[in-house]
Amino acid sequence: MIPLRVTSGRASLAVEDTGARDMKTVLLLHAGVTDKRSWTPVVDRLGADVRCISYDRRGYGDTEYDTDDGWSPVADAVAVLDAAGVDAVIAIGCSIGGGTAVDLALAHPDRVSALVLIAPAIGGAPEPELKPLVAELDAQIDAADAVADLDAVNRLEAHLWLDGAGHEGRVSGHVRDLFLDMNARAISALDPGTTADAPDAWSLLDRITVPVLFVVGGRDLRHFHAQARDAAAALPDGRVVDVPESAHLPHLEGAASALDAISDFVAARA
C-alpha cells in the first residue's frame, strides 16, 4: 500500500494506492458515514491482481482542506486519477460516493470503463417517502445534531446506516468500532464548504453506456432498492444484486455475496 497526498484546489487529499501501475484499476469512493478505510474488505477480496485507489473525501478521514464553497467532488476524483497516472478506471462508489461515481462517468466518460454503485445517492433522484421508523430516526438525528450531541448522532447513524432501521446493534465487533470511529471523525470535522452544482444525473442516466452493477442491502432503506431497479432499467447495461443480510454498507460488513458480486464484475471487465 502506498499512502500519498494529492492536491486538488484547497485540499490535500489522503490517498491509498495498492497494486502495480500496469494492473486493472478501480477507484473507490466512500459513503458519507465512512472513509477510505471502509474499503479494506473489497481491496482484500480483489487481491493482488487489481490496483485499488481510494481516498478520503473532503470532511473525512485524513484529508486536509480549507473551507471552500464551490469545490467539486468530481474535480477531486480527476485529480486523484491524474496523480496516479490512470486513464480509465472501474469506479466503485457507495451512497454519496456512488453519486460522485455517476457524476464522474457523465462528466468524463473516457475516464470510467464500468461502475459499481452500492446504494448510490444519485443527484436528482426522486425524493423518498420515509417509513415511520426511519422518519423517527431521522428526526432524532436532527435533534441530536441541533444540540451538538455528536455521540448520539453517531449512535443513531450506526443504527440507521450500519445495522438497518429496526435492527439496532445487529453489527458488532471490529466493524462497528470502525464505523463509529470513521463517522465520529466525519461529524466533528471542519465544514468543507458547499459543493459545486452538479447536473441532474438521474435524468441523464441513459447517457452512461458502460456496464453498471448496483448492490443494495436487504435491510437498507426501501427507496434505495426502488431507485436501483429504476436506474438499472434506464441504463443500456445495468443490473442489480440484492444482499439480504446487510444494510447500507454491505462491503464494510464483508458480506460474502456483495464481495463476490463486485469481484466477479471487476474480473469480467477487460
Instruction: Report pLDDT for 191.
Output: 97
pLDDT beneath 70, residues of the chain = 1-3
Distance of CA 182 to the CA centre of its chain: 13
263 plus 147 within the same structural domain: no
If you ran DSSP here, which 8-state letter would residue 196 be given? P
Grid coordinates given for 108: 468524463
Grid coordinates given for 115: 461502475
How many degrees, rounded to 5, is the angle at CA 123 between CA 88 and CA 190? 85
pLDDT in tens, 173-208: 999 999 999 999 999 999 999 999 888 999 999 999
**Residue-by-residue DSSP string for 37-53:** GGGHHHHHHH-TTEEEE
C-alpha separations of 196 from 61, 87, 121, 123 in Å: 21, 24, 16, 12
Q: Which of 121, 124, 85 is nearest to 101 (CA)?
A: 121
Instruction: Report pLDDT for 114.
Output: 98
Domain boundary among 187, 222, 255: 187
Tell me the Cα Rg of the chain: 17
56 plus 75 within the same structural domain: yes
- Whole-prediction pTM value? 0.97
Please return the burial class of 88, using the count of CB atoms within 10 Å of its CB with bins 0-12, 13-18 and 19+: middle
d(Cα 156, Cα 116) in Å, to the nearest integer? 27
154 plus 179 within the same structural domain: yes
Q: Longest C-alpha distance within the chain, in Å? A: 51
C-alpha separations of 236 from 14, 194, 205, 213, 218 in Å: 34, 33, 9, 12, 25
- The dihedrals phi and psi of 165, each to the nearest 5 degrees, come to -55, 130
d(Cα 161, Cα 175) in Å, to the nearest integer? 13
141 plus 260 within the same structural domain: no
Domain that holds residue 152: 132-187
Domain boundary among 187, 202, 231: 187
Domain boundary among 151, 169, 187: 187
Q: Assign residue 199 the CATH number of its domain.
A: 3.40.50.1820
Tally of domains within the chain = 2
d(Cα 157, Cα 221) in Å, to the nearest integer? 13
Instruction: Report pLDDT for 2.
Output: 62
Instruction: Report pLDDT for 270.
Output: 72
175 plus 151 within the same structural domain: yes
